[in-house]
Chains A and B, each alone.
Chain A
Amino acid sequence: MATDTTNQSEAVAREQLLDLAAEFYDQFADGAVPSMQIPTRTKSNIEYDEDAEVWVYGDRHSTRSAKTVSGAKKLLKAIYVIDFLSTQLDEDRSSTLRELYYLSESWDHEIAQFSDQNESNQLIEDLEIVSDVSREDFHMRPEESGATLMGPLQLREQTRRGERDIHCQKDVGEGGYQIPNNPDTIEFLDNDADFVLCVETGGMRDRLVENGFDDEYNTIIVHLKGQPARATRRITRRLHDELDLPVVVFTDGDPWSYRIFASVAYGSIKSAHLSEYLATPDAQYIGIQPTDIVEYDLPTDPLSDSDINALENELEDPRFQDDFWTTEIEHQLDIGKKAEQQALAARGLDFVTDEYLPSRLDEMGVI
């Protein structure tokens, strides 16, 4: 079943890519100037979609046109990439973003070669948006690996070497289950979970596992590994949607971590075109909140200039424009401090699993 869907989406992907190429061809044939329109991917162009409850791109576009020298160069690169991707799909192969960058060096036309990986990454994102196909469906992988899962969940994964059925507590080691690059190849079979807990840092995740938190509270612990990869966000969404589980997010108490929460819950600015697919709007934020820092008298670090900048930026970020966030961010600017989630250890190693999480989860109505 999954295979079929995968094959289907790949066929769709290939068709979309070739459609794009055909469009350019037609433009030439008409004697027009080849061009491509893409929505601008900045925080000034994201808006809230009421129905999907996530943040998507607005109406502002920029046009890449062959009329200018830089536009023509970009279009040439785009066409080369389209060619490459359609071949890749045809041959059922995949590659990483970094590999694409290096590959381009072998292309015959010098201008088509990428000057750095950022450029090729951006182009893949452009193509995603324009062709309405995710890069996973192009068979393009990022470097970062996705999350690990630990919890009462039985799943089936389609791999190159056949199907695998895995239980995410009994069949995995200390590290947990490593999700694949394309989590849509996973099928959920059975679960015993009450909620999903996304954790930012490896240290805190290990603490929770060591203390048996997943067992005691029937929770699936998802290790975000910092800024979560698309696969991670996708799996979180699927866990919420398909298994009907509430999702909570537990990160450090600093602006960068708030963004981590935002990308899980609201959608990221870079991939707002896939928000519907990747974001979990019902996700809730546990902490560390600035009020926690004060209440639990946690060991702190002072806010650096870039932290302050980031916080002020967030006050302008449309995704953070609600009462909860504005109050908390302003509070943090007031106290001028930040704290890691592992600082809770100052109150004892078990404080987090015995006191902090249970009482907070109770407050939030999760348990």
Chain B
Amino acid sequence: MTSYQSELGGRSNVAEELAESQRSISIAEFFEKNKHMLGFDSGARGLVTAVKEAVDNALDATEEAGILPDIYVSITEAGDYYRLVVEDNGPGITKEQLPKVFGKLLYGSRFHVREQKRGQQGIGISAAVLYAQLTSGKPAMITSRTDGDSDAQYFELIVDTDSNEPEISVDTTTSWERPHGTRIELEMEANMRARQQLHDYIKHTAVVNPHARIEFEEPRERLKFERVTDQLPAETEEIRPHPHGIELGSLIKLLDESASHTLSGFLQSEFTRVGQKTAESIVTAFRDRHYGRELAWKPAPAPVIESAVSDVVNNKSPDATATFAQRVAGAVSEQPRVAHHECRAIVANAADHVKSTTGSTFGSTVQGHTVEAIWELTLDGVESELTELIDEVTTARKSDETIDGMARRLVTKLNGVDRHRLTHGDIESFVERAATQTEQRDDVTFGETAQQKVIEGVWSISSTVPDDPPSVTAVSNDRDFASELLEAMRETDILAPPTDCLAPITDELVEEGLRKEFDADFYAATTRDAEVHGGDPFIVEAGIAYGGDIQSDGSIDVLRFANRVPLVYQRGACATADVITSINWRNYGLDQPGGSGTPNGPAVVLIHVASTNVPFTSESKDAIANVPEIEHEIELAIRDAARDLKRYLKKRRSLQQRKRKRNVIADILPTMAEKLADMTDQQSLMIEDSLARIMSNVLIERTTTDDGVALTVTNHTDTTTELSVTDIVSVDPGSLESATVVEMDGEWFVTWEPTVESGETARLQYDLDGDAEFDISVEGIEAEKLSVTA
């Protein structure tokens, strides 16, 4: 009994109780409880993420300041914990900013900016500080010196998780040998299980940042990566958002903060690729949505209008009235179709004219009556016009009664509408209703297709109203208005965003980077043109390295990068993995059992996606999301590079075949020749010519006479060959017209550069006195295609 009673009265108490225990949670607290969302789930992983955040920052900062990056990373054991130190030669951080940068989550200069940057959110390094303090209890130790300062700043701080503010325990100056830069030291719980990932991260960072010098020290190893170019990546421009890439909430926020008064001004100043014309188109689309359009109908004939107008005009001189009426009637009847607002404009115009010519004022009341009169007249013809229209747009199969029925019902609805001003949605519902009624009452079909046609037909005879759009403030305060504006923006055709906000690595440097790190036989790289996804521009680059020292058994290595940052984890969830497994690599010369899945072979494939907004699958920024436009570009980029690989492999195979053939034939032919000479009892044969012909080679032979030397070059291949033939002679041949002669250490290098067409022979000769020794060297052709008997 007691419990039941307490329940009865207790409902609201429970709610109150619950309400009491509710409180807000700070971001820092949230992070504390959800470290895995940001890449700090395990000790091993945490270390990698911390290194990543610090190095990303260092690279971004140095690049922004136009400095070639010098970065030092060290991981050492410190009792139960690990000590991470990252030092750079960047521009440094000011005393005021520094605590916030390291001690406050979600603080950063990059958050608001649409630019290709490594860290897309400022949460990075402060999360590492928080993680370090949570696991080791020790504060972060940060040293920073800006250019020009005599000393460096030294801070020891932690993140206050309740307030999300930095809590500084030490704040002094100190001397530092670097003229400018930043150094962060963290002590955290970690382990080196992720040694491989760390190495990969550093190594791959070096590959895609060929302008950076990186030194990496960990308990077992020391790696150094020198820079291979002094060229900093191109400076990127910040861009404003694109109208097609913005969400409703952000739009309202922009409207709120905007200083513009008119919508047109707002659009032009806040968005990229919106000039006056585009703004006008958007506003027109907005007006249509917001106000609707007015239907325009055929005007009555001029005389009829004239008399109607004359009727409604009172108290004006007959002259003025006549002029007025004539003018109005003339102008209106001239139009093929006229909407209510157009009538008004014409009438106002006429009033002005009359005023200036006759001095008679036709004020707003008179004008209003006139417009109404004209409109009444026009309305008379609506039903028949509608009938005509419906007939035109629908197929011949609709019977006259059906069409009449529809027209009639539509007119009934329209009559209730002031000025025939309707939104598209209004028209849709009218037509639908009329169709349903027609179907029910008249027992005919008027299906969706027909309805669509009628809707579009009616919309096409409507015209945009000239009403002023609401102000920016008005729109920002009304969610529906903002929604209409957003729809209007999305509907309008707008140029793709500019791409100078992006700085791809460029295919030359992609190749350089791969060359630096992998000792391969073949390299290919390609950079695609910029494309757009969801209003954000992006560029995809791909590179392939094949053969050489790359491990040949097992699957290929895939290096993934987003905005020049290596993606180390979650390879399977990444869009790049999906694209790679879906390509038929057998077509390009790699082994791929079953025709799908990751291929095998001695190859490394590199993919880089650069964007102002790279879509990731989760907050830990490990894997690129499956956005169709991006996947498509990745596929095209890979195929570009793979085609080069295919060509290379094909050529290599054919050269190998040639070699094999040559080996066999070079074995057989001399034996044949010898035996034949034996059997027919003739002198032994010189078979080089036959051999060259068989191998479709270029044959070079020498004949010496008493006064000179002749080298004949015969081209048995099927393409023209350009060679460089150098004969190293022990005696001075003098100067020659057709060749260059260079003397070195008592030997004369006689060089010709003959071009020999297929099937032709070239003669290279020079005079010589006495005996000499010769040594010939040929360049410009593969060894397999050459036969030399000189």
Contacts and interface: CB of A to CB of B under 8 A. Distances in A.
A binds B: yes
Interface of A: 18, 21-22, 24-25, 27-29, 31-34, 66-69, 72-73, 75-76, 79-80, 82-83, 86, 109, 111-112
Contacts of A109: 668, 671
Nearest to A24: B676
Interface of B: 660-661, 664-665, 667-669, 671-673, 675-680, 682, 685, 687, 689-690, 693-694
A190 B367 CA distance: 144
Nearest to B693: A33
B760 to A, nearest CB: 15
B685 A72 contact: no
Contact of B679 (A28, A34, A86, A112): A86
Contact of B694 (A33, A83, A111, A112): A33
Nearest to B661: A69
Nearest to B701: A31
Given A72-B668, A73-B668, A31 B690 contact: yes
Contacts of B665: 66, 69, 72
Given A73-B668, A79-B672, A79-B675, 8 more contacts: A25-B676, A27-B690, A66-B694, A69-B660, A69-B664, A72-B664, A72-B668, A72-B669
A66 B679 contact: no
A344 to B, nearest CB: 56
A73 B694 CA distance: 13
A72 B695 CA distance: 12
30 contacts: A21-B676, A21-B679, A24-B672, A25-B677, A25-B682, A25-B685, A28-B676, A28-B687, A29-B685, A32-B690, A33-B690, A33-B693, A34-B690, A66-B668, A66-B669, A66-B694, A67-B694, A69-B665, A72-B669, A73-B664, A73-B668, A75-B672, A76-B668, A79-B679, A80-B675, A83-B675, A109-B668, A109-B671, A111-B668, A112-B671
Nearest to A110: B667
Contacts of B679: 18, 21, 79, 82-83, 86
Contact of B680 (A22, A73, A112): A22
Contacts of A111: 664, 667-668
A335 to B, nearest CB: 53
B664 A28 contact: no
Interface of B is mostly: helix
A68 B669 CA distance: 12
B673 A28 contact: yes
A76 B672 contact: yes
A34 B668 CA distance: 12
B696 to A, nearest CB: 9
Nearest to B682: A25
A33 B692 CA distance: 9
Nearest to A111: B668
B680 A32 contact: no
Contacts of B680: 18, 21-22, 25
Nearest to B671: A109
Contacts of A86: 679
A213 to B, nearest CB: 53
Nearest to B699: A31
B784 to A, nearest CB: 15
A106 to B, nearest CB: 15
A33 B694 CA distance: 6
Nearest to B678: A83
Which has the most chain B C-beta neighbours within 10 Å: A18, A28, A76, A80?
A28
Contacts of A76: 668, 671-672
A21 B672 CA distance: 10
Contacts of A34: 672, 690
Closest 8 pairs (CB-CB, A-B):
A31-B689, A25-B676, A21-B679, A72-B668, A28-B685, A22-B680, A67-B694, A69-B664
Contacts of A28: 672-673, 676, 685, 687, 690
A336 B78 CA distance: 96
A222 B425 CA distance: 107
A2 B693 CA distance: 48
A109 B689 CA distance: 23
Nearest to A70: B664
A325 B681 CA distance: 54
B691 to A, nearest CB: 9
Nearest to A67: B694
A32 B675 CA distance: 17
Nearest to A112: B671
Given A25-B685, A69-B664, A32 B693 contact: yes
A67 B679 CA distance: 23
B361 to A, nearest CB: 106
A82 B673 CA distance: 14
A75 B673 CA distance: 11
Contacts of A112: 671
B350 to A, nearest CB: 97
A112 B676 CA distance: 14
A22 B690 CA distance: 16
Which has the most chain B C-beta neighbours within 10 Å: A18, A76, A80?
A76
Contacts of B671: 76, 109, 112
Contacts of A79: 672, 675-676, 679
B655 to A, nearest CB: 16
A32 B678 CA distance: 19
Contacts of A73: 664, 668
Contacts of B660: 69
A28 B687 CA distance: 6
A76 B667 CA distance: 11
Nearest to A17: B679
A279 B664 CA distance: 43
Contacts of A27: 690
B363 to A, nearest CB: 105
A80 B676 CA distance: 9
A32 B664 CA distance: 18
A252 to B, nearest CB: 48
B161 to A, nearest CB: 78
Contact of B693 (A21, A22, A29, A31): A31
A10 B65 CA distance: 98
A28 B669 CA distance: 10
Contacts of A68: 661
Contacts of B685: 25, 28-29
A83 B675 CA distance: 8
B558 to A, nearest CB: 40
Contacts of B675: 79-80, 83
Contacts of A32: 690, 693
A145 to B, nearest CB: 33
Contacts of A24: 672, 676
A75 B687 CA distance: 15
A34 B665 CA distance: 12
A64 B481 CA distance: 87
Nearest to B663: A69
A83 B690 CA distance: 22
Contacts of A67: 693-694
Contacts of A75: 672
A185 to B, nearest CB: 28
A185 B678 CA distance: 33
A66 B694 CA distance: 7
B50 to A, nearest CB: 62
Which has the most chain A C-beta neighbours within 10 Å: B668, B677, B685?
B668
Contacts of B682: 25
A79 B673 CA distance: 10
A34 B672 CA distance: 10
A299 B680 CA distance: 63
Nearest to B683: A29
A348 to B, nearest CB: 64
Which has the most chain A C-beta neighbours within 10 Å: B685, B693, B694?
B694
A21 B679 CA distance: 7
Contacts of A33: 690, 693-694
A79 B675 CA distance: 8
Contacts of A18: 679-680
